[in-house]
Amino acid sequence: MKKIIALVLSLVLCLSLLTACGGDSAAETTAPAQNAQTEGEAAPAETAAAADIKVGFIFLHDENSTYDLNFMNAAEEACKSLGLTEDQYIFRTNIPEGQECYDAACELVDAGCTVVFADSFGHEDYMIQAAKEFPEVQFCHATGTKAHTQGLSNYHNAFASIYEGRYLAGVAAGLKLNEMIEAGEFTAEEAKMGYVGAFTYAEVISGYTSFYLGAKSVCPTVTMEVTFTGSWYDETAEKEAANKLISNGCKLISQHADSMGAPTACETAGVPNVSYNGSTIAACPNTFIVSSRINWAPYYTYVINAVLAGEEIPADYTGTIADGSVVLTEVNEAAAAAGTAEKLEEVKAGLLDGSIHVFDTTTFTVEGAPVESYLADVDTDPDYTPDTEAVSDGYFHESEFRSAPYFDLKIDGISLLDTAF
């Protein structure tokens, strides 16, 4: 009898832990301040949502991956806010970047979906295959690069101007460095940041450069070291990379990879960390400063509404700070420099009104010279042929010619380690 009681108790304990965890992640997703705007857009669609629409979502992993969780939460939020019932949206999790993605997309079409989303870069080609086969169904792929050159009216890419979010996060990092310099922990010349990247891919280059430029805008002497792990999710490699950067003398770490490796390494070493994908404050209460992330809910809402209304969807959709796609978490006052939140509001206003451009060519040099012209590789091809002039009006036009980032200049002040990937 005692055993049974013990079993029941432990079950209850497990269940309560599970619900507690679930609660945490839910709280995190509703945190962004821009929600009001999202809901404002969603409101008029609610009447049409009763229509017979079915939406399919393809995710690379399941909710155990922070990357996919971010998408899953946004998808659920968008569907619920549009009044879709549970049998009107289908989640397919753990879909690898191969034929399985094509199969899953086709199965979703078989199940009656008229719009199918996929969340991982490697899904793109298989989504295109499916799009060719089912012209009446809309296929929307996040982070992809090929929609604007494919010429398919039912295949679309989406991204967000996350470089702006990272720029803001960089400002928070710069302020923290300034505070540490003032406290005499190190000199202004020693202000060096570390960055753990996944691949040497434009999305990552754009990300770390904007982060660096954000920091440099408040801490002009800052330099940065970037290392690459060759994987989007490799907890051990990310942790090792962060530790290496710390031992190289980096005073602050940020990352663009999806595991908790770098943040936990920072917490252990007591080094401030600017995070990505969402708040890591629970695991890193002493070192977490702020985190930027893409909120996909506005995009999902927009596309589903467009399908309902029978409107054309553009080949590329770039979410912005303004439409609530690019968001920052709350600043952790325990770790951030004083006045960070206020400064971030100020810079954000500047980004919104166009007085600040992240890739302002006056703020950086390449090999000692300012950049006046740059042909970017916007149209994807196996030979990486540069094709589009991206610099004009004194700044690099990121995410304008396609939604996915294509800024891949190697600017001064950033040194790259382990670039094999």
Partner 1 sequence: MSKQNNAPLIQISKRRELPWYGPIAIRAAAIVLALAACAVVTTAFTGENPLEIYHTMWTGAFGTPRKTWILFQNIAILLCVSLAVTPAFIMRFWNIGAEGQMLIGGLATAACMILLGDKLPNPVLIGIMLLAALAAGGLWGAIPAVCKARWNTNETLFTLMMNYVATQLVAFFVIVWEVPKGAGKIGIINQTTEAGWLPQIGSYKYLLNILIVAVLTAAMYVYLTRSKQGYEIAVVGQSQRTARYVGIKVGRVIVRTMILSGALCGLAGFLLVAGTDHTITTTIAGGRGFTAVMVSWLANFNPINMILTSFLLVFLERGAGEIATNFGLNHSFGDIITGIILFFIIGSEFFIRYQLRLRKNAGKEA
- Which residues contact partner 1 by CB under 8 A? 62-64, 90-94, 96-99, 103, 106-107, 110, 121-122, 124-126, 128-129, 145, 198-202, 204-205, 230-231, 377, 380-382, 384, 408, 420-421
Shortest Å, Cβ 198 to partner 1? 8
Of 118 and 337, nearer to partner 1 (C-beta) is 118
Shortest Å, Cβ 365 to partner 1? 22
Contact at 8 Å (CB) between 60 and 124? no
Of 13 and 334, nearer to partner 1 (C-beta) is 13
Shortest Å, Cβ 205 to partner 1? 7
Shortest Å, Cβ 353 to partner 1? 33
Of 125 and 235, nearer to partner 1 (C-beta) is 125
CA pair distance 279, 48, nearest whole angstrom: 35
Of 231 and 363, nearer to partner 1 (C-beta) is 231
Of 93 and 363, nearer to partner 1 (C-beta) is 93
Shortest Å, Cβ 151 to partner 1? 11
Shortest Å, Cβ 103 to partner 1? 5
Shortest Å, Cβ 148 to partner 1? 13
Of 106 and 269, nearer to partner 1 (C-beta) is 106
Of 131 and 218, nearer to partner 1 (C-beta) is 131
Pairing of strands 326-328, 414-416: unpaired
Shortest Å, Cβ 338 to partner 1? 38
Of 31 and 106, nearer to partner 1 (C-beta) is 106
Of 62 and 389, nearer to partner 1 (C-beta) is 62
Instruction: List Cβ neighbours of 386 (8 Å cut-off, separation of 6 or more).
Output: 375, 376, 377
Shortest Å, Cβ 280 to partner 1? 22
